[in-house]
Amino acid sequence: MDRLQMTELETYIQRFMEEQGVPGLAVALSHRGETIYAKGFGVRNLVTKEPATPSTVFGIASVTKSFTAAAIMQLAHEGKLSLDDPVGKYIPAFRLRGCDASKVQIRHLLSHTSGVPPLLRREELVRFSEHLDYLAEVEFAALGEPGQYFSYANDMFLLLGAIIEQVSGRLYRRYMTERLLAPLRMHRSTFSLEELARLDNVSTPYAKRGEQQQVTAVPWPTLGNYEVGGGIRSSVDDLLVYGSLYVAKGRYQGQEIVPAAWLETMWQPVHRLTKDAWYGYALKTTRDYAGVTLVEHGGGQPGVSSNFGFVPEKELVCVVLSNLENVPIRNVWLAAVNAALGLPLAYKESAAPTYQLDREELEKLVGTYTSAEGGNVRLFIRDGAPVAEVAGSEFSLRAAASDTLIFVDSDMPLRFFFKADSRAWAVLLGMRMLCRSE
């Protein structure tokens, strides 16, 4: 990345932070294991005005999922489990009220294709046994058979932590620290809020609250069992080391951490998300992006917006972490990747096609779609055009196909699902399937 590209990227980041009200942010890039760019922007705390740096600790939220998946790959390599094994082989108490639990395999947990919809979060549950009781009791309508549909289901993903404990004989956190964080010398990365309190250079999490959307400090979420899919706090410096694992054939400083073939399994396409993107095992893949492959995962929590990923053909790793929730941080990540690839900063995946929906087709999509986790989108027609209401805000849409609408301002798709010729029964918003509520 030359000086001009660097200057353009930094101008872009500063403008993004102003527009979104982001207090602090850090960006880092490495090529073949060598850091080629690392910089903090803004502040980690609005009161003290302490600057954000590449070693500032932020939440990484769902980027944690790939760590858990990598641990599963370690255990699969060692012959301690198979991805085709039913979950019940390792967790005999696993039961579901809404579908046949015996059909759910480890690979379905990794790829969010279990058929279980997003459920009400129970962050007060801190033992896996408590969560198994919850899953056995909670009522839900299955999305379909395992493998049929994709939808984030954090209550299912966390079962991977219980499996890791069962087959390794170690607590989940201990296994993750001993087998991944410690060998990679990620000494500023932790699951523990107690340890976080002892570290220096830690960001303060922020969220926009109230009618004025005032940027307000919020506590770190305690998460409970959901730490399996979102509990790591880390820095961009540490995550560059973690990312090097994927582009350096599973090795770090001469030591094999996870065999390369098993890591590569994580970013093979399992379920199609959009025209260009597929979900694998805790990683999303965009093929043929200007002739290369983008592999990534984002994350969001109270006080956290994150994106991590790599370009395997170029041995390029990119990480962006921030301390404000619900901002489109992937835009910064993609701009940084573009700069490193020598592409225009604004380069994106090819746009979805334009489709002319007739009134009858549009009427089949109209309605309110929700999940027990709290997701909600209302689709209605205004002046003959589709409009979506999400979290109290309205967004203009355009059609890309008879089953797909696109947010005009962000290009994010809304993909609808049908049974026979009836109205749509569900919609995929981002990573979550929401079902018609009427």
The amino acid present at 302, given as its one-letter code, is: P
Residue 138 to residue 23: CA distance in whole angstroms: 39
Q: What is the pLDDT of residue 392?
A: 83
How high does pLDDT run on average in the chain?
Answer: 95
Q: H/E element holding 294?
A: strand 292-301
Contact status, residue 355 vs residue 399, Cβ threshold 8 Å: yes
Contact status, residue 331 vs residue 278, Cβ threshold 8 Å: no
Residue 8 to residue 11: CA distance in whole angstroms: 5
In CATH terms, the fold of domain 12-350 is: Beta-lactamase (3.40.710)
327-350 b/e with 16+ CB inside 10 Å = b?
Answer: bbbbbbbbbbbbbbbebebeeebe
Asked if residue 438 has pLDDT above 80, the reply is no
Q: What is the pLDDT of residue 84?
A: 98
Q: H/E element holding 107?
A: helix 106-111
- Average the pLDDT over 3-19 and give the result: 94
Structure tokens at 321: 């972490």
Q: Which residues, 6+ apart, have CB-to-CB distance to 405 below 8 Å?
A: 365, 379, 386, 388, 397, 398, 399, 413, 414, 416
Q: What is the pTM of this model?
A: 0.96
pLDDT tens digits, 398-424 = 999 999 999 998 888 999 999 877 899
Q: What is the pLDDT of residue 351?
A: 82
Q: Which CATH number fits domain 359-436: 2.30.30.40, 3.40.1280.10, 3.30.1320.10, 2.40.128.50?
A: 2.40.128.50
- Torsion over CA: 400, 401, 406, 412 (sign): negative
* Axis crossing angle, helix 330-341 with helix 3-20, rounded to the nearest 10: 170
In which residue ranges of the chain is CATH 2.40.128.50 found? 359-436
Q: What is the band of 9 on the pLDDT scale with cuts at 50, 70, 90?
A: very high
Distances in whole angstroms, Cα of residue 424 to Cα of each of 73, 113, 162, 384: 37, 20, 36, 19
Contact status, residue 82 vs residue 89, Cβ threshold 8 Å: no
From start to end of 202-258, where are the E strands?
Answer: 206-209, 214-217, 233-234, 251-252, 255-256
Strands 426-429 and 432-436: antiparallel
- Torsion over CA: 195, 201, 202, 204 (sign): positive
Closest CA to 35 of 55, 60, 9, 51: 55
Asked if residue 258 has pLDDT above 90, the reply is yes
The amino acid present at 180, given as its one-letter code, is: L
- Average the pLDDT over 129-134 and give the result: 97
Asked if residue 393 has pLDDT above 90, the reply is no
Q: What is the band of 97 on the pLDDT scale with cuts at 50, 70, 90?
A: very high
Q: What is the pLDDT of residue 210?
A: 83
264-268 long-range Cβ contacts below 8 angstroms, 24+ apart: 265/73, 265/83, 266/66, 266/69, 266/70, 266/73, 266/110, 267/293, 267/295, 267/312
Tell which wins on pLDDT, 320 or 210. 320
| Virtual torsion, Cα 69, 73, 79, 84, nearest 10 deg | 60
- Average the pLDDT over 346-357 and give the result: 89
Q: What is the pLDDT of residue 170?
A: 97
Asked if residue 98 has pLDDT above 80, the reply is yes
Q: Which residue has the tokens 């954090």?
A: 154
Contact status, residue 305 vs residue 329, Cβ threshold 8 Å: yes
In which residue ranges of the chain is CATH 3.40.710.10 found? 12-350
Residue 390 to residue 377: CA distance in whole angstroms: 5
